[in-house]
Amino acid sequence: MQSLIFSLALVAYSAAANDWLNVEVAGANNALARNINAHLGTLPTSDVQRRAFVFNAEDNINAALHSLGYYHANVNQQLSSPEKGVWTLSITVKPGEPTKLQWVDIQLSGEILQDAVVNRWLLGLNVKPGDILNHGVYEEIKTQLLTIALARGYFDGKYSANSIVINRDLNTAQITLHYDSGPRYHIGQVTFEGDSLVDGFLDQLIPFEPRTTYSTKKLGDLNRELIDTGYFTNIKVLPQLDKIEGQAVPIKVGVTDRPSHSFEIGVGAEIGNSSNSGIEPRLRLTWRTPQVNQYGHSQETSLEWSPDRPKFLTTYTIPLTHPLDDQLKLRVGILRDKYGVTQVYDPNKRDYINTGELESTKATAGVVRQKRFDNNWLFTYSIDGIKEAYTQRDVDYNTQMVLLGSSLSKTHRGDNSLDPKSGFFQHYSLEYADPNLGSDIRLTRLQAKFKWIDTFFEKHRIVSRLDLAANIAAESDLANIPPSLRYFAGGDQSIRGYSYQELGPYIDYTNSEEQLARMVVGGRYLMVGSLEYQYYVTPTWRVATFVDAGNAFDVNQIEPIVAVGGGIHWISPIGPIKLDLGVGLKETETVDRSWRIHLTMGAEL
């Protein structure tokens, strides 16, 4: 009962104060009190301002009451004005009966009648007979209609009637809005200025047909296409309304080329992603040339140094039939990587101890064509040559592979933010190697990846993913499959709570020093899934809890792993930054029951 009395008091009373004047409003509901304070304006900061504030208070209060439909209010003002100290203006309001809408007459004429976007806006209007008159709502509807009409190309539109008729005796009001849109204009010729590309190259980015109906959304789509090329630092898409000819609006696009070369340096460290759970420093240098020549070619070269995993990769991109939707990529890379864990048996401890990881050095060169269809499916086909050296069971391998590959993927986002409220990602790929095509073994690789995101009741978000993969090869060829083409589990994008790529099938053997040894060598198959619940504490902070499960495995060695954990995520301007703690629920033959802290950054789709 006490809480109810308190809330009623808040409705009946509001106050504002500074060193010159206290304003107290009683008898008005929250909305009316806020409107009165808004119309009264900023509190005075001098004696002259204070006297003007008090003098104009009555007119401002009446304006506030009328704007919300209260034309029969009784207002009592009392002013306490001591010679020294703060004055107090006490306002007591008896609003009386509000004025209600008798009818709302909104009529459109002209080509706008056939516009589906405008019709959806009309259906969404939340004003009807019986509502209390609100002048702010009336003005907002007028402004919204004009804004939509201009954005949709109705440049000759005008109101033939717009009024509110009030009957104070009956406490009724009648709203009339009649709008004649006239014809809808079209988008005329699009011209580009400021670029150094071959003539007609940027015309391929125009995402609409000639003479299409005008809308600012279509111009926004063009702007987004230009941004996605990476060619420009500044883009202005300007309709030239002063040069309209025959209801066609010319579009002028001004761009500024990016610098010819840019360099980016990154410094960081990985903690706990090696067999000794140590700290591995990383230094990364990236060199980009967004526009190599007038045909829109570009290149990106990255050099990453770390004691155990140095990498070099360069990619040269050639636009084909479309600068963004059809590209040929030439790529060359050299890298060293580590997988799983290697162990030897210690008779004194009667247990296996970690000695390192399965290491490989790989050189790769490839060509891939990437094409995006109108339905947003991304299709690729490629050929990659791989030369990979590694040591397994104290035997040195130097495997050569020529992989023919193809993939199909699609990403649907519920919105364009870096932290979408909903979305679905699907990816399917097939790769094939054959001795007749230059490979040492015959191998077929199949992969499928899925991620689903949805948000319920604004604050409750679900993120789930599933990764499936298989290598189809003869039993005698398994050892000759390079580690980079096998499947491992573990890490922040797999099973949290375990190190990167430390989980998978293992082999037991006797090493060259006659010791019992064990090595995680990866599996022919992969099945890893995750289910995560996220709760938004604020719009930019959320907490999460998750379950990750699965593993890489062979037909004769299946060992499911489950990890649980939670984390805190900050939705930063550059994307979500997530700090997660994962705890493994199972101790395997090669990994003790594990826990890891994972820090990740970037969009989830």
| Residue burial 106-140, b: 16+ Cβ < 10 Å; e: rest | eebebbbeebeebeeeeeeeeeeeebbbbeebbee
Q: What is the mean pLDDT of residues 305-314?
A: 88
Which residues on neighbouring strands pair with residue 313, listed in sequence order?
302, 333
Q: Would you give the end-to-end CA distance of the chain in angstroms?
A: 49
Question: Would you state the pLDDT for residue 280?
Answer: 67
186, β-bridge pairs: 213, 248
39-49 residue pLDDT tens = 999 999 999 99
pLDDT over 80 (residue 8): no
User: What is the DSSP annotation of 213-228?
Assistant: BP-HHHHHHHHHHHHH
- Asked if 251 and 223 count as a contact pair (C-beta separation under 8 A), the reply is no
Residue position matching structure tokens 């509001």 = 14
State the Cα–Cα distance between residues 338 and 273, nearest whole angstrom.
10
The sign of the CA dihedral 383, 483, 407, 420 is negative
Mean pLDDT of the chain: 91
Strand, coil or helix: 241: helix
Count Cα atoms within 13 angstroms, Cβ side, for 228. 14
Identify the band that residue 298 occupies on the pLDDT scale cut at 50, 70 and 90: very high
* Residues 355 and 340 sit within 8 Å (Cβ to Cβ): no
* DSSP secondary structure code for residue 489 in this structure: B
H/E stretch holding 190 reads strand 186-193
**Separation of alpha carbons 146 and 117, rounded Å:** 13
Q: What is the mean pLDDT of residues 558-576?
A: 91
Q: What is each CA distance from 402 to 391, 431, 441, 446, 523, in whole angstroms?
A: 21, 10, 10, 16, 20
Confidence of residue 587 (pLDDT cuts 50, 70, 90): confident
Asked if residue 6 has pLDDT above 90, the reply is no
Tokens of 342: 């290697």
Could you give phi then psi for residue 369, rounded to 5 degrees? -105, 130
pTM: 0.80
Residue 18 pLDDT: 85
The tens digit of pLDDT for each residue in 138-189 reads: 999 999 999 999 999 999 999 999 999 999 989 999 999 999 999 999 999 9
What integer pLDDT is reported at residue 540 of this predicted model?
92
pLDDT of residue 351: 86
Ramachandran region of residue 582, left (φ > 0), alpha (ψ -120 to 50) or beta? beta
Q: Which of 266-280, 383-397, 562-576 has the lowest mean pLDDT?
A: 266-280
Q: Beta partners for 262?
A: 288
Q: What is the average per-residue pLDDT within 101-124? A: 93
Q: 488-546: per-residue pLDDT in tens?
A: 999 889 999 888 888 999 999 998 888 999 999 999 999 999 999 999 999 999 999 99
The tokens of 582 are what? 């994962």
